Structure 1
C-alpha cells in the first residue's frame, strides 16, 4: 500500500503519551497511530468478522454433521472418555 505523509499538531502531553505507548509496544509512533486509526475505523474487527463468516460458510456442513446435538459425546469430542493413566499419558 502506498504511504502518504500526514502532519498533525498535538499538545506535548499527547505526544509524550504516544511515544511512551509506542515504545512500550515495541513499535514506532507512526505504526502506533496507524493501528489506532485502523482500530477506530473497525478495519481489524471487520476483516476478522468477514474471515470468520467465510470460514463458517465453507465448513457449515462439517460443523452440522459433527455437532448435530443428538449425542453429548459427539457434541464435545472426548466427553465421557476417561484416561486411566492420567493426563500426562497418551491414549492408546
Structure 2
C-alpha cells in the first residue's frame, strides 16, 4: 500500500503522550497514529450498524404496515455448503 505523508501540528503534551504510548507498545509514532485511525474507523462502522439496527426495531411496525404483515418476522432457511452437498436439507439455521 502506498504511503502518504501528513504533517500534523499538536501541542507538546499531545506529542509526548503519543511518543510515550507508542514506546510502551514498542511501535513507531507513525504506526501508533495509523492504529488509532483504523480503530476509530472501525468504531464508526460499529456505531452505524448499531444505529441502523435500532432504527429498524423502532420502525418495524411502520415497515410491516407499508410492505405487508406477511413479511413481518419472516425467516429464511440457510443451507451450509455441507447441507447443499448432502441433498439440500436445511441445517435448521435461519436468518432474520
TM-score (norm 2): 0.46
Work out which structure has the larger RCO, using CA pairs closer than 8 Å and 6 or more positions apart in sequence.
Answer: 2
TM-score (norm 1): 0.48
Q: Which has the higher strand share?
A: 2
